[in-house]
Chains A and B, each alone.
Chain A
Amino acid sequence: MVSAYLYRMYNTARKKPVLLVLIIAGVIFAINSVLKLDTPAIQFNERNEAVIRGMTQLILLVCADYAFAVGFRSGVLGVSLPDVTYHLAGPYSKRFNLIMSFGYGLSSIGFFVWFLTANTSVLAMWIGFNTHDYYVLFGQSVLAMAIMFLFTSYISAAFPESIKARVIAVGGLLLLHAGIMVLVIRDLILTFGSWAEVKVQNPLVLIDHIGNSRWMATIPVVGWNFMPDLNWVLIMLEIVFVLVLLVLYGITEFDFYETAGANAQKIADIVEASKAGVEAVNTGISRTATVGKEVYDKGWGANAFFWQHLFQNRRESKLFFVNKVALIYRVFALLILLVSGSVLEEKLLVVVMGVATMMVLNAIVYGGGKIVFEFNRPYFFMVPEKPGTKFASCLLADLPEMAFDALLCTIIIKIPSGASFGIFSMICFFIMMVAFDMVSQTLGIICVRLLRNFGKMVLMFVRYIVIIILMLVGMTMSYFATEAVGALITTDDMILGVMIGSMGLAFVLIWLAMIPLAVKIITKADVNW
């Protein structure tokens, strides 16, 4: 059974020669980086043993946490649909299939180790990290990561449907980290006298104190096997931990197939959705939809598409006008603007930065849209209505989401920019954002229909290039409009309003021009499902 698995892996790898070459080149680069660590050319800072030990310990902690996180991808989340068909339903034991599901996590860990290795020259230049230190770090990190990975993989496979088990494991780790952080800070304050004194210390001094803190030894695995301070009690504890884990793997009756199968389908849907340019979160939402008392009774002819999509959006969430992906980005944007607002004295610049940030983020959020799935079904093509009207009906179904998002963006920019962003410019910005979202969405659909067979990367690349060009068109129009009415402008609000409003007008015109093009592309391209 191992050879069957390896044969499949071999054939998959054989079909990706470029990836293989990249991996080999990456490994050679990493080995070369390690062997060059002792070269005087990069060892230009004095070596500090204590700092190196502290740094190694902190890196080990990060490695172990990473392996802890990816371990949950094993078992219930580690199989694909072909795995379900050929392995889970095949003549293999559950334990073997569990090990087979380690693939994703182990490749992630492999990449992480490579990244760490390839960047050790930075440590060499900074603190005098040498090849021997790397071997110590490598050996310990592999050990720590293997144990942590096996630990969470076990939880994932032994409690496939228990969110509680995961919460307990993650919560326990977080609590441990938080507890150690408090204790370490307490020690630092005791050592340096006050928190203010701690803050002014050289970062290397702090790395030394934190990494070599006595509390580090309380962290399972990571703190137990730290080589320079080998403590036989801790080593025994680690061995017992590993043995218990192995016994658990041996005696547990794993029952994760059903959950793994369902998740494999979900992941396949997400992959398919991402190929179509749709953010993964959108695919997940429809899984939570349930039938309630709502009634679908609106629409006639082409606009039946609008009401149908609106109805589906409302069924999927009571807050159908909230795009959850956009919401995450909004938090991110708010943080950027709050920091910028506190640094930049010129509030006009904060608004300009806010507008740019929102546009860049929304090019991602609305770059595909759920509407793209409509063209995977026959109804759009079969219903005897004008294609342009049907297309516009579909696009407008996302308007409530875009309007709410634009409103949120307006408020977020208003917070750090104050009076500079007045009513006039706020209204202009709101309209501009909705128009820009429409342009992004339409462009996303065009790209998916035209470039679907070229793969996700090409699709995204082309889409971003075009969106940047369209943004430049908008900015050019904004420049000319501001120049034209410059003499009449008296306030910041008016300047911004004219700038943003003219850009919005450009996007409205671009969008209107894109609709016939999009319709032509959609109706002329073959439909395959």
Chain B
Amino acid sequence: MLTVNGVTKKYKKFLANDNLSFTIADGEIGILLGPNGAGKSTIIKSIAGLLRYEGDIEINGIDNHELEAKKMLGYIPEMPALYDTLTIDEHLEFVRRAYKVEDTGIKEKLLERFELTDKRKKMGKELSKGMQQKVSICCALIHDPKVVIFDEPMVGLDPHAIKELKALFQELKAEGKTVLISTHMIDTIEDYWDVAHIMMNGKIAATKHNRPGSADEKSLDELFFQITEGSAAASTAAKKSEEEEA
């Protein structure tokens, strides 16, 4: 479980996150939606313990700065930051060793899943952005974390990797893990999410639960555009989705 309670983050006078609170339960996929600059990456980095902030963040009930919490957390940054002169293989080996994970073959499985096996001897500096992102995902999953946070994970990935990643989200959910995904690309979100928080100006402007059968509620598209662009855009989005359904 991931609990964010009253988190505020300021960059000098700019309020990036304003008293944010939300919870993602075990076996749930949470989505952070919002336009550029809404504060999604800031809260993701705060959860990863990379930023100073006011408030509390807990991973399965443990403060996110504690070592026990770090063991349970996997983080995929927006910008992959690999080592120039380590190969893909060596990146995974380094992370495995640093997290004290026994070699049970998980490395091979991840390499195969993300089609990296034949490129395992390539160094970080030789990889494209998409490849680096794949390595970054593998590194974050190698220690089998209980809570996984993804910051704009689809950016730069090829169709196969996007498909695998979506399947991975479902698998993590089925395994009872907590998943939080930050994205601004509403089109990439299909029906796999459980709760979506729409962020605007550092705040959660709306929260929507994915409940099948609640036909009277607005769709995620409508809600998103209503919040970010006003009611006119929302009605356009509603019309579009009606057309698509027809």
Contact = CB atoms under 8 A, between A and B. Distances in A.
Interface in A342-388: 376-379, 381-386
Nearest to B90: A296
Given A301-B98, A378-B81, A383-B98, A311 B50 contact: no
B93 A296 contact: yes
A25 B72 CA distance: 61
Interface in A182-214: none
Interface of B: 45, 48-52, 67-68, 70-71, 73, 75, 77, 79, 81-87, 90, 93-95, 97-100, 121, 123, 125, 139
B202 to A, nearest CB: 16
12 contacts: A296-B94, A298-B97, A301-B100, A308-B83, A312-B84, A377-B83, A378-B81, A379-B139, A381-B50, A382-B48, A383-B70, A527-B51
Nearest to B123: A291
A249 B139 CA distance: 52
A304 interface: yes
Contacts of A525: 52
Contacts, number: 86
B51 A289 contact: no
A308 B86 CA distance: 9
Contacts of B73: 382
Nearest to B68: A384
A378 B93 CA distance: 16
A386 B84 CA distance: 25
B94 A304 contact: yes
Contacts of A291: 87, 121, 123
A113 B206 CA distance: 64
Interface of A: 286-287, 289, 291, 296-302, 304-305, 307-308, 311-312, 315-316, 376-379, 381-386, 524-527, 529
Contacts of B45: 527
Contacts of B49: 381-382
A377 B84 CA distance: 12
A311 B52 CA distance: 32
Nearest to B140: A382
B84 A385 contact: no
Which of A286, A384, A526, A527 has the most B CB atoms < 10 Å from its CB? A384
Contact of A315 (B77, B85, B93): B85
Given A286-B85, A383-B70, A385-B67, A378 B90 contact: no
B100 A312 contact: no
A508 to B, nearest CB: 28
> Which interface residue of B52, B68, B98, B125 has the most chain A CB atoms within 10 A?
B98
B85 A300 contact: no
Nearest to B93: A296
Nearest to B66: A384
A297 B107 CA distance: 14
Contact of B52 (A299, A307, A382, A524): A524
Contacts of B70: 382-384
A289 B123 contact: yes
* Interface-centre pick from B50, B79, B95 (highest chain A CB count, 10 A): B50
B93 A297 contact: yes
Nearest to A296: B90
A300 to B, nearest CB: 6
Nearest to A526: B51
Contacts of B121: 291
